[in-house]
Structure 1
């Protein structure tokens, strides 16, 4: 039985994706901030939101989104810039919260967005790395002599699995700092740090977009 993908191509794909997934891009920076401000459960929800967006991109590949990205680049730039503005807004909210470090935590500090899942989805749907995967990284690994659906399933499933591990690891690292959030001075400093982190992620999205 012929495998869905060529083993040699798949090995090369794993090497390329390992570098891309581990790099501290917008998704991983968001995971750190999300974990630190919301805790472990939100890390998982944020990761699920980001990977749901990745599934949208992978589904788009099956529908010829790569060709659309080539013929209508402005639409994709606008998508990236819109996502960058949203992430920058989250960062600004965090910076503003640093003015009131003595405010009660109630259910924990929040990033200011709707939910960890929705915020994660918004970050990844506008993440240029996801667009880059569809338009530049994936095509060279596609074998025209093999069925496309099987290849997309394998390559896309691998990306989702690797991203899930990386995003969760980054997020849990951020959540490890959450124990100190009851200290007002630490909370103020970390609110500033989180805000800067999110604005840096927004800058990455905008510049790469």
Structure 2
């Protein structure tokens, strides 16, 4: 019986993927920032959005996108720039919100508060997807890290399915830990002065994630 993947290669891949999953990067910084500014539910939705984007990358890899990225790197550099600018906009928006006056909300504003929370949770899913779909770390993964672990003599789809399961499983654990850690910190920031400083820190984290995306997309780091 021929296994879908070489066990030794798969074991080596698991080791590499574990290191990549826990290393701070745009995705994990986004998870921290989302948990800190929006809470646990939004953090987990952001993680879901990022891993949906990872599934899209794996599907694209199955269709031969890796070769296209190598042939047309400029097109994917543009995607990275657009993604980095989007994350930078999120950071600037968070900082502006932190610096804006925060008038008290009367009891009659309960419905508006609930609506705002639902909107933030929905946008966390989209934001997470956008962060990961434009993440140069994902491009690097599918063009440089993954190919050496693929065996041309074995079914490509079966191999990619197992690699996807390992990648997404480890990313979900790592991203969720970062996001819930940020949410735990956020839960303690009940005083307005602390909250303002915390939101400024969240904005700075998002700007840092944006810088990582832009610099990696341009091959600087």
Tell me which interval the TM-score lies in, with the shorter structure as reference length: over 0.9
Q: How does 1:96-111 map to 2 (within 5 A)?
A: 96-100=96-100, 102-104=102-104, 106-107=113-114
Q: Is the 8 A contact 2:45 2:124 kept in 1?
A: yes
Structure 1, unaligned runs of 5 or more: none
CA RMSD of aligned residues (A): 1.9
User: Is residue 162 of structure 2 the alignment partner of residue 154 of structure 1?
Assistant: yes
Q: TM-score, normalised by structure 1?
A: 0.94
In the TM superposition, residue 35 of structure 1 has moved relative to its aligned partner by 0.5
Q: Which moved more, 1:84-93 or 1:173-182?
A: 173-182
Structure 1 segments, 4+ long, off by >4 Å, are 107-114
Q: Which moved more, 1:81-90 or 1:37-46?
A: 37-46
User: Is residue 141 of structure 2 the alignment partner of residue 138 of structure 1?
Assistant: no
In the TM superposition, residue 181 of structure 1 has moved relative to its aligned partner by 3.4
Residue aligning to 1:22: 22
**Partner of 1:98: helix, strand, or coil?**
helix
**1:96-123 deviations in whole A, cap 9, x for unaligned?**
1121363458357899796110000000
Paired with 1:104 and 1:65, the residues of 2 have a C-alpha distance of 51
Residue aligning to 1:81: 81
**Partner of 1:115: helix, strand, or coil?**
helix
Structure 2, unaligned runs of 5 or more: 106-112
User: Is residue 204 of structure 2 the alignment partner of residue 196 of structure 1?
Assistant: yes
**1:34-62 deviations in whole A, cap 9, x for unaligned?**
01111111111111100000011101101
User: Is residue 217 of structure 2 the alignment partner of residue 206 of structure 1?
Assistant: no
**Partner of 1:181: helix, strand, or coil?**
coil
Residue aligning to 1:92: 92
Residue aligning to 1:68: 68
**1:148-196 deviations in whole A, cap 9, x for unaligned?**
1110000111101110001100000000012233311111101110111
Greater Cα radius of gyration, structure 1 or 2: 2
User: Is residue 185 of structure 2 the alignment partner of residue 185 of structure 1?
Assistant: no
Q: TM-score, normalised by structure 2?
A: 0.89
In the superposition, relative to structure 1, how do residues 69 and 103 fare at CA in structure 2: closer, same or farther (>3 Å)?
Answer: farther
In the TM superposition, residue 3 of structure 1 has moved relative to its aligned partner by 1.6
**1:115-161 deviations in whole A, cap 9, x for unaligned?**
11000000000001111111011100001111111100001111011
Q: Is the 8 A contact 2:42 2:121 kept in 1?
A: no
